[in-house]
């Protein structure tokens, strides 16, 4: 089992510290990569991780990676940011951590790896939710319905 990490780590000292940990030998740190590479890696993955620092949990934001994981049909583990928690819980497509401790991540990862049927169902729930609720087609239906309520049918 290997952890694939794409993206930036802004703190060079932190990256150096991480490289000294015994588990680093099981990490493939790719840095910034093309979006097409991310998507190819994602569909071959068992779990997606979406994290944000605890000082931002209260913010109302949305990260594409949550929807990308859903579209790829993989369960995800997210830190308890308000927006992510609502989406994940509503669609039952992953696990929301109680906190961002390494122990919480390890427990959630192990849970999904040990419960493959449940993890598969979460992935399916996420994919269905994206196709039904968060696609351009579903947004088009909402927009047309709004126009019809405002100005009537053509």
- Ordered by start, the domain boundaries in the chain are 1-33, 47-151
pLDDT at residue 104 tops 70: yes
pLDDT on residue 152: 84
Using CA atoms, how far residue 144 sits from 37, 42, 47, 112, 141, in Å, is 35, 33, 35, 39, 5
CA 70 to chain centre: 7
Q: Which CATH architecture does the domain made up of 47-151 adopt? A: 3-Layer(aba) Sandwich (3.40)
pLDDT at 55: 67
Percentage of the residues of the chain whose pLDDT score is greater than 70: 94
Mean per-residue pLDDT for 117-146?
90
pLDDT of residue 124: 98
CA torsion, ordered 93, 120, 69, 89, to nearest 10 deg:
10
Per-residue pLDDT tens over the stretch 25-64: 999 999 999 988 888 898 889 999 988 776 666 666 667 8
Total residues belonging to the chain: 154
Q: Which of 124, 131, 135 is nearest to 73 (CA)?
A: 124
């Amino acid at each position: 089992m290997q952890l694939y990490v794409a993206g930036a780590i802004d703190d060079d000292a932190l990256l150096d510290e991480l490289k000294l940990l015994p588990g680093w030998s099981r990490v493939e740190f790719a840095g910034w990569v093309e979006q097409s590479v991310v998507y190819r890696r994602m569909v071959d993955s068992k779990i997606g991780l979406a994290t944000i620092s605890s000082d931002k949990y209260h913010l109302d934001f949305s990260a594409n990676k949550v929807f990308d994981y859903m579209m790829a049909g993989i369960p995800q583990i997210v830190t308890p940011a308000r927006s992510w928690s609502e989406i994940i819980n509503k669609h039952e497509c992953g696990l929301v951590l109680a906190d961002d401790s390494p122990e919480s991540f390890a427990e959630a990862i192990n849970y999904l790896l040990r419960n493959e049927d449940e993890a598969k169902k979460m992935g399916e729930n996420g994919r269905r939710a994206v196709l039904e609720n968060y696609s351009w087609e579903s947004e088009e239906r909402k927009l047309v319905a709004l126009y019809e309520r405002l100005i009537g049918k053509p």
